[in-house]
A and B are shown apart, each in its own frame.
Chain A
Amino acid sequence: MSNGYQKNPKKEQLPATNEDWVEALSAPADQRAVSFLREKLISGLKPALHKYVDRELDQFVEDVAQDALVKILDNIHSFRGESKLTTWAMKIAVREGLTELRRKRYDDSSIEEFRYPDDDGRNELTSLTFASELPDPDDATHEQLLLQKVLDIINNELTDKQRRVIKGLMIDEMPVEMLTDQMDTNRNALYKLVHDARLKIKDKLKLDGINADELFNDQ
C-alpha cells in the first residue's frame, strides 16, 4: 500500500492490485477510483437484481451502489484480502440491495395479517397443534405417533422464543425481516434460535431411541 496512488492525481492507471485499491479508497479517497468502482457495482447489480425490482431499476441500483460505496469506504480497512477487493465490494452492494428489497417487501406486507389474534405477538405462545387432529393412540400409525412425539418436544422442551420463530416462519410464513423486527433481533440470531431448536429435537429423539428416518424414506 505504498504507491501513493491517491496522492498522485496525474497517475492514469486505475488500481490494479488489492493494495492499490485499499490505498485509493482510503481517505482522502481517489474519486476516479470511486467512480470506477461505482460503475462496476452498477454493471453487476443491474442484471442481477432486475427480476427482483418491479420499477425504476436504474434509480434503485444507483441508490444501492451509492449506499454501498459509503459502507465500503467506511470499512475499507476491514478488508483482509481474501478475494479481489471488487468481489468483496460487490458482496457489500448485494447485501445493501437485498436489505432494501426485503425492507420494501416488509413495508408492502400487511402487518395486520401477521398479528397474533389476541396480542401484539410479544406475549407467550400457547401450544402448537396439528392441522388435523390425531386419532386415538390405539388407532394411530407409527408415523402419527412420531409426529405427536415431536410436537410434544416442541411444546414442552423448546423455549417460548423458539416456538415463536417456528410459528412465524413455518405457520405464518412471515418474511424474516418482519419476524426479526417483531422479536427485536437479527437474521443471525434467528438462525441460531432455530438451530438450537433443531438440535434439541434431534437430541431428544435420540435420547428416546426414536429413529425419524423412516418418515423420509419415500422422499
Chain B
Amino acid sequence: MKLSTEQLKQLIKASVNAHPDEIGCDDCYEKLHEFAELKLAGKSPEEAMPLVEDHLNRCPECQTEFEILLDALKAAESAS
C-alpha cells in the first residue's frame, strides 16, 4: 500500500490543524438547518456556530450537503 508524498502532506496538514473540540458529522447535521437559515438571512452563522463552520471546512460530504441545502432553500423561496 502506497501513500504518495502529496497524500501524506495532505494528511499532515489536516493533522497539524486538528483540534480536540471538532464536532462530527452528526452534530453538524443537527445544527445545519439553523446554520443555513442564518446564512440566508445574511447573518454570520460562522460566528454564532464556529464549530459547525469548522466542520464544514473539514468535511467535504457535509460541505456538499450544506451547499445543496442552501441551493434548495433559495430555489424554494423564489418559487413561492
Contacts and interface: CB of A to CB of B under 8 A. Distances in A.
Contacts of B1: 125-129, 167, 171
B72 A94 contact: yes
Contact of A91 (B3, B13, B15, B32): B32
Q: Lowest 6 A-B CB distances belong to which pairs?
A: A44-B76, A44-B72, A198-B18, A48-B72, A48-B71, A201-B15
Interface string B1-33: 111110111111111111010101110010111
A44 B73 contact: yes
Given A40-B76, A44-B73, A48-B75, 16 more contacts: A41-B76, A44-B79, A83-B33, A83-B37, A86-B76, A90-B33, A129-B3, A131-B3, A150-B12, A166-B3, A170-B10, A191-B25, A195-B22, A199-B20, A202-B16, A216-B13
Contacts of B44: none
Contacts of A213: 16
Interface size of B as a range:
35 or more
B69 to A, nearest CB: 5
Interface string A176-208: 100000000001100110110111011001000
B65 interface: yes
A110 interface: no
A210 B1 CA distance: 25
Q: Which of B5, B15, B65 is the most central at the interface, judged by chain A CB atoms within 10 Å of its CB?
A: B15
Q: A interface, how many residues as a size bin?
A: 35 or more
Nearest to A153: B15
Nearest to B8: A147
A82 B52 CA distance: 15
10 contacts: A40-B79, A87-B73, A98-B65, A126-B1, A128-B1, A128-B2, A130-B4, A170-B10, A195-B24, A201-B18
